[in-house]
Structure 1
């Protein structure tokens, strides 16, 4: 069999190649052409717009009126290179530093990179694709080890992802503990994201209630049941239409314009077909929702507490996981740490039986949900979290600091954790069968702050 130009070029790359060698001997002559980018569709040492930061290469297809190499505007993809002998295997110290660097290039303050949708980290041995959706940057694929047997396949797979960008970010609301406000957060996030400007963010949102035991979300809102139960679709999704599982939750404004979001309601029938569920591989819900990833801006999945099938499926269906917490819940902090270092990677491995090379569900930083916190209480929580971080770093050589203290650096030891304040109208809104953000200005302000902190 004739070897591809990509494979031959990669095989010729020295084991001691430094960044410039990888750029000139592999990226430019082979990798970018294999992704159908031409010679005037990239910029080397591209300034990100954040201080003196420059990413190794930025890429965008030309248009009929705009040559990217000349305009250097609106990049679509950036690539950060590391020397080949640097260990950037997942979990290594150099890998963690490289990811922090890549995310800095994609921060909202990096003004020249605001349009970037994808980012690549590679040293010629490993390659990983990162996706950007609003403020969220997360590993879209595993950190793939390239070999002579897989290089053509893996590079083609990344091309497929880059060529077919999805509209949607899928978010699981998760905490192993109950009573932390997952359902309230889900409903009001959906509400504020879907509200038209200037009240909200004018996004198309789908909410999935995947807690058949409690059905809190489905019971809190007033909508017409869809023609098909989720359990029926779930067990035979290739022979049904996903649209038949979706309900519309809409209200009319005074100008007669409708606003709201869509819902896949909880289905108690799941509880009666447990024996059939046991044979289902984790990742099925993601497959069920896959056709909707080009339809919605956000899919929000309300997951049950615990660690059972429904919890795992909700997480496996998500790109990122948002974890509401209580400042006085040390068990919740420990669970978050366990989820970050063990639960999410395990679920990611399971769902790769459906979606090969897909990255693990990615945890967003925790936030304190719905309680007034005194200075003493905040300091106590910070101390407890620091002990957990220290233990994980000592025992497993993993730094989980960014998932608790996202603004913490060695230079600025910022221990800030986002707080969603307690407010009576948020809790009482359930009696009106509406999200609090639809009725109350203060609730809209709180949840707008949450959206801006994490998503937009």
Structure 2
């Protein structure tokens, strides 16, 4: 078999290749060409617009007579290069620093990168694709080790992902402990995201109630199964249409969002019935819908059940409401980070090769008034959990619990959703609180702006 130009370029790299050598021999002439970019669509040392910071390579398809390599505006893909001898394995400090650097280029204040959808980190020995959706930047693929035998396959996988970019961000609302307000959060997130501007964000939203034991979301919004139940779709996925499962929620026929209702038929299924359904079926079912919606929110059950696994496997990112006085929920969150999410990554990769594990977003305190003393107690409890995870499991959970922490500033702030009686009571009126309450609207706008937009 004749070696591909890509493989030849990779083999031609010196063992200690630096960034320019990797750029000129491998990334620009071969990888970016495979991705469909020509030389006039590639720029080196691209200024991000966040001070003087520049990323190694940026690319964007030209339109009309425009030449991106000259205009150097509105890149859609960026590549950060590292020396070949640098250890970019996922547990190494150089890798963690490089990821932080890449995310910095995609910060909202990086004005020249606001159109960037994809970021690549590579040193030629390893490559990883990151996706950017609004404020969210997360690893889309695993940290792939490249070899002469697999480089053609792995770059082809990344190309397929980029070529088939989906519109939606899929978010699972999850906490291993119940009673933390997941359903209320899902309802009002859907409400504020779908509410027309300027009060909301004018996004197309689908909510999936995947908790058939409780089906709180479906009941609180008084949503019934439409033409087809989700379980019936599961049983005959090849001949049925997922769109027939979707119901509409509309407030006074003005605005709203779509819902896949909970299906109690799952509860009557035997263990054998559920075991016969391939893992990752929910993700596969939702995939064609991701080109129609901006956000897909999954209300997942607590615990460690089939339904929890399917919900989290389907998610790009996981949002975890918590209570400041719930030390158990902090420990459960740490346990999920250490074991549950990585295990579910295997199910995702059975659906599509090299998909990264679902990415947890930082926790937030949901729906309670917190005194300074109580906040300090919660922070101390969390610090102890972080120390234990680092000592016993070599996992750094600091930014999962304290996203604004740096060695210099040591900021222990956690986003807080304040307590407001109308938020909870509105659910019993079959509507999101954000549709009728300015206070609730402001609270959830803040939540969206903190995490998503």
TM-score w.r.t. the length of structure 2 is 0.98
Distance in 2 separating the partners of 1:312 and 1:112: 38
Q: Name the residue aligned to 2:176.
A: 176
Aligned pair 1:331/2:324, yes or no?
no
SS at 2:40 equivalent: coil
For residues 364 and 224 of structure 1, the distance between their equivalents in structure 2, rounded to whole angstroms, comes to: 31
Point out the more displaced range, 391-400 or 309-318.
391-400
1:260 and 2:256 equivalent?
yes
Within the alignment, does 1:341 sit opposite 2:344 as a pair? no
Equivalent pair of 2:422/2:433 in contact (CA under 8 Å) = yes
Q: Which residue of 2 aligns with 1:192?
A: 192
Q: Give the secondary-structure state (helix, strand or coil) at the position aligned to 1:382.
A: helix
Q: How does 1:8-23 map to 2 (within 5 A)?
A: 8-23=8-23
Q: What residue is the counterpart of 1:435 in the other structure?
A: 432
1:273 aligns with 2:269: yes
CA distance in 1, matches of 2:397, 2:23: 32
Q: Aligned equivalents of 2:348 and 2:75: distance in 1?
A: 31
Q: CA deviation at 1:215?
A: 0.5
Matched, 1:238 2:235: no
Q: How much does 1:252 deviate? A: 2.9
Shift of 1:224: 4.6
- Quick check: 154-163 or 309-318, which moved more? 154-163
Aligned equivalents of 1:17 and 1:127: distance in 2? 15
* Alignment RMSD: 1.1
Gaps of 5+ in 1: none
Structure 2 matches for 1:200-349, cutoff 5 A? 200-252=200-252, 258-275=254-271, 276-349=273-346
1:402 aligns with 2:399: yes
Q: What does 1:66-105 correspond to in 2, within 5 Å?
A: 66-105=66-105
- In the TM superposition, residue 7 of structure 1 has moved relative to its aligned partner by 0.7
| Alpha-carbon distance in structure 2 between the residues aligned to 1:396 and 1:122 | 26
Matched, 1:61 2:61: yes
Query: How many angstroms apart in 1 are the aligned matches of 2:238 and 2:135?
Result: 34
CA contact (8 A) 2:251 2:431 kept: no
1:149 alignment partner in structure 2: 149
The answer (yes or no) to whether the contact 1:136–1:455 under 8 Å persists in 2 is: yes
Q: Deviations over 1:388-418 (max 9, x none)?
A: 1111122222222111111111121111100
Give per-residue Cα distances to partners, 1:359-396, cap 9 Å, x unaligned: 11000000000000000010111111111111112222
Query: SS at 2:448's partner residue?
Result: helix
Structure 2 gaps of 5+ residues are: none
Determine if the alignment matches structure 1 residue 132 to structure 2 residue 132. yes
Residue 52 of structure 1 deviates from its aligned partner by 2.4
Tell me the CA shift for residue 164 of structure 1.
2.0
Larger CA deviation: 416-425 vs 276-285: 276-285
Q: Quote the residue 2:39 is aligned against.
A: 39
Deviation, 1:35, is 1.5
TM superposition shift of 1:161? 1.3
